[in-house]
């Protein structure tokens, strides 16, 4: 009996690896300062839920802000409980001895305003009505997020981030930080991003939005009030998203034309493995994400265009920046291809900024920025390690 118990204990302790930040708990900040949104609406107050890893040093010079992407949240690293099956979404990069080393840095990751994991968003209760905001929640932009994240920095007594870091939509927030609040960050780490969406990017977002908004259970955006969820639409949006996150090559390596059973059914049940994968991804997403937040995030992506405030000249926009830049892209990423990252790099070079740029080879597609790709994480680690405090 004793031997079984010991074995169970080992299994139990083995859940959390040694280079993890370990058990973490989200915190909530109520920001009472009004925030004037780009849309013209003012939010009198809002809440941000966030996590921190590591310890803030005495002069507050070792703080790193992590900005999340479309379906991300504040839970970037570690585990909420011993039972949690998977760690936070960027546990590959954040932890003791990892690329973003929590022995060195105090890492802060908030759930963005408009999110659905605890920060004020469309699923929150609108004090004016006593019901969830639903579609009454104002659209927010990347610029708005930078303001909101700056309010979080104020509350945490962080005058200047050692680095602001993000991939995809997260990387767009980093670029906006460097332009809007140049004196508040020393390093900008922009991964798998673009200076603005292409027409094709917007088109994919529009199909996702139409999938959600034409779902009869969307109820004009007030589905929560009616006890419904636009499951079909959100599922389709996620399935479509997944296609754009993976490269054609990776899909071929992962699924090819493999069938679930050995022969064709000649009906519309799942036949190919890739169908099974997509349906599973779509269905499981519905249980953990709010459709109105999904819509809001796609609009924030569409609206993002920092050059538009500077006569459509990105070079002029980034000339305000004081940070040094790390920019990385992935060769097989067709959502935000290396070409798009190079647009950012060219603008930075034109503005005579310090910029390190890396194109990472591989077949992983856009999702690469989240994955355990040694060369990529080594480059990131080496850059982060050189940051002085």
Contacting residues toward its own copies, per CB under 8 A: 38-40, 135, 138-139, 196-200, 202-204, 206-207, 209-211, 213-216, 232, 235-236, 239-240, 242-243, 246, 248, 251-252, 254-257, 264, 266-268, 271-272, 274-275, 278-279, 282, 295, 299, 302-303, 305
11 vs 220, beta carbon nearer its own copies: 220
276 catalytically annotated: no
Q: What is the DSSP string of 132-184?
A: E-GGGSPP--HHHHHHHHHHHHHHTT-SSBSEEEEETHHHHHHHHHHHHSGGG
C-beta of residue 355 within 8 angstroms of C-beta of residue 327: yes
Q: Which is nearer to its own copies, 152 or 314 (CB)?
A: 314
Is residue 227 within a helix (H) or strand (E), and if so which, with residue range?
A: none
CB of 335 to its own copies, least distance (A): 11
Nearer to its own copies, 105 or 218 (CB): 218
Q: Which residues pair with 31 in a beta bridge?
A: 46
- Distance of alpha carbon 207 from the chain centroid: 21
Which of 179, 235 has the CB closer to its own copies? 235
Between 150 and 296, CB nearer to its own copies:
296
**Minimum CB–partner distance for residue 343 and its own copies (Å):** 13
**Cα–Cα separations (whole angstroms), residue 157 to 58, 179, 325:** 11, 21, 24
Q: At its nearest, how many Å lie between its own copies and the CB of residue 331?
A: 16
The answer to whether the CB of 154 falls within 8 A of the CB of 181 is no
The catalytic position among 75, 187, 242, 366 is 366
Our answer to whether residue 157 is catalytic in this structure is no
Q: Which of 168, 247, 332, 341 is catalytic?
A: 168
Residue 358 host element (H or E): strand 355-360
Q: Copy the structure tokens of residue 273.
A: 């493995």
**Considering the complex, what minimum distance in angstroms separates the CB of residue 317 from its own copies?**
15
333 is catalytic: yes
State the Cα–Cα distance between residues 259 and 289, nearest whole angstrom: 30
Q: Which of 332, 333, 337, 341 is catalytic?
A: 333
The catalytic site residues sit at: 168, 333, 366
């Amino acid at each position: 009996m004793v031997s079984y118990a010991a074995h169970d204990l080992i299994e139990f302790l083995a859940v959390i690896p040694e280079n993890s930040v370990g058990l973490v708990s989200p915190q909530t900040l109520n920001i009472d300062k009004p925030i004037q949104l780009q849309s013209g609406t003012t939010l009198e107050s809002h809440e941000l839920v966030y996590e921190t890893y590591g310890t803030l040093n005495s002069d507050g010079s070792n703080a790193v802000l992590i900005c999340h992407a479309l379906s991300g949240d504040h839970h970037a690293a570690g585990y909420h409980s011993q039972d949690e099956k998977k760690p936070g979404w960027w546990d590959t990069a954040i932890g003791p001895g990892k690329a973003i080393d929590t022995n060195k840095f105090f890492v802060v990751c908030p759930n963005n305003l408009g999110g659905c994991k605890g920060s004020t968003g469309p699923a929150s209760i609108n004090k004016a009505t006593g019901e969830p905001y639903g579609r009454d929640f104002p659209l927010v932009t990347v610029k708005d997020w930078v303001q909101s994240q700056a309010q979080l920095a104020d509350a945490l007594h962080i005058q200047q981030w050692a680095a602001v870091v993000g991939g995809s939509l997260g990387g767009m927030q980093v670029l906006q930080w460097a332009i809007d609040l140049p004196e508040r960050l020393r390093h900008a780490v922009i991964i798998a991003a673009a200076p603005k969406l292409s027409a094709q990017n917007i088109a994919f977002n529009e199909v996702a939005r139409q999938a959600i908004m034409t779902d009869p259970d969307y109820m004009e955006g007030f589905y929560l009030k009616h006890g419904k969820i636009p499951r079909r639409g959100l599922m389709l949006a996620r399935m479509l998203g997944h296609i754009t996150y993976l490269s054609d090559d990776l899909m071929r390596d992962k699924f090819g034309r493999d069938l679930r059973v050995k022969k064709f059914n000649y009906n519309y049940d799942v036949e190919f493995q890739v169908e099974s994968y997509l349906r599973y991804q779509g269905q499981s997403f519905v249980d953990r994400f709010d459709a109105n937040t999904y819509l809001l995030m796609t609009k924030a992506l569409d609206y993002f265009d920092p050059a538009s405030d500077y006569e459509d000249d990105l070079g002029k926009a980034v000339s305000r920046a004081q940070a040094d830049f790390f920019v990385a892209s992935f060769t097989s990423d067709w959502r935000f291809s290396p070409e798009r990252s190079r647009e950012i790099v060219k603008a930075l070079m034109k503005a005579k900024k310090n910029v390190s740029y890396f194109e990472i080879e591989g077949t992983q597609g856009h999702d690469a920025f989240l994955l355990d790709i040694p060369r990529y994480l080594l480059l990131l680690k080496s850059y982060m390690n050189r940051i002085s405090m």
